[in-house]
Amino acid sequence: MEELAPIVLDLARKYMSGDSSSVTYEAAETLMEAVIYTINEIEESPAGAAVAAVITAEEAYRAGYARIIEKVNQCRKVYNEMIREFDAYENEFYYDTVAKGLPAFFIHYDARFRPQDHLLTLDYLTLDFDPGLTGIDQIEAYLRSTVAEQRYLRLFPRESVIRALEEWNRGYRKLPVNIAEIARERVL
């Protein structure tokens, strides 16, 4: 924790744009969470524990921040490829989360001051949703799951999936249900 204080202080100065040296307790707590999240990014990377053991906290923070930016760029790329053929199968929750929410994430995500936030409620839950993940890690896992669900659903004719969903519940279009799970139960 001692090594983190200078990093948090520097981040607080940037956060306040140099106008003041005092930040609220809540802001300081959020910035400390940001630093810890960022450093954890490098520690959780392949060979991260070995690297983290031989570098300073400041170096780990910089490397973690670079890894976060890399993940954001990779997720944006995956999203842009996936959205071209995305089909929500007329479900509002699926459409709103993927077609509206995820682009908003990429616009508003703050990798520097709030990397631990993923900003979205993710109302459409994928089959392997992990509520323990946060920040870009949650978005990365969510995208991976969404891509897998889309691939699976494309194995069936769209009309068969829609018919199965309607047979399950005519109101499925306005329900926060997992399309792939219902399709798996009904189409097979």
pLDDT of residue 188: 60
How many H-runs (helices) and E-runs (strands) does the chain carry?
A: 9, 0
Q: Domain locations in the chain? A: 4-187
CB-facing half-sphere around the CA of 40: CA atoms within 13 A: 13
Ranges of residues in the chain whose predicted pLDDT is under 50: none
